[in-house]
Amino acid sequence: MSESTDSVRDAIIIAAARLIVAQGYDGVAMREIAEAAGISKPGLYYHFRDKEDLLEAVLTHWVAETEALVTAARQAPDTRARLSVLVRGLFAQAPLQRALIRLGTQDLPRLREATRERIQRCYASGFLEPIKAIIRDGVARGELRAVNPHLTTWLLLGMLYPFFHTDHPCARLADEHTATRIVETLLDGIAAR
């Protein structure tokens, strides 16, 4: 693809992400996405065969952007620092970007099985597995108890989930202080000592 074609494709992905987060996958039409991207509807179909193909591109684009964040987190010196870099990095993303995590899980059941499997593999390899690797490494280094990395990853994501809603009251609290509290709660609990 040429640079011009790539920039048009990126503009479509950004417009689609914004509209799908705001209106839901079922609530937005391809015509609206084309208008928001500043192209014709046939131009949109030149780049994406259908709305499902476009949603897959939106979600895989988010994973690709987030992989850099996870890679940076894995460079920190210990598990606490790695998780802190990760959560702070997620909170530093624009609310629209954070909302794509929720969008992916919310809309997957609507998609064809083959598309769903591709998105799940991309999400797992680019986001879930690196977080599990941080947890596994923390266990191996003796920084964490012998916890289940899969379950611990989902517990962390469960704590983060309210911050992935653009309209949830927690979304505006996604800052460094909250990131620190989340990591402390995951690693230290909340019981008085």
For 152-176, the pLDDT digits (tens) are 999 999 999 888 887 778 778 889 9
Domain boundaries, given as residue ranges, for the chain: 1-48, 50-188
- What pLDDT score does 48 carry? 95
Structure letter (DSSP) for residue 124 = I
- What pLDDT score does 104 carry? 66
What does pTM read for this prediction? Answer: 0.85
Question: Selecting from 2.60.120.380, 2.40.160.20, 1.10.10.60, 1.10.730.10, what CATH number does the domain 1-48 have?
Answer: 1.10.10.60
Is 1-48's fold the same as 50-188's? no
Q: Tell me the angle at which helices 95-107 and 51-73 cross, rounded to the nearest 10 degrees.
A: 120
One-character DSSP codes across 132-188:
HHHHHHHHHTTSS-S--HHHHHHHHHHHHGGGG-TTSGGGGG-SHHHHHHHHHHHHH
Q: Report the topology of domain 50-188.
A: Tetracycline Repressor; domain 2 (1.10.357)
pLDDT in tens, 34-88: 999 999 999 999 999 999 999 999 988 888 888 889 989 999 999 999 999 999 9
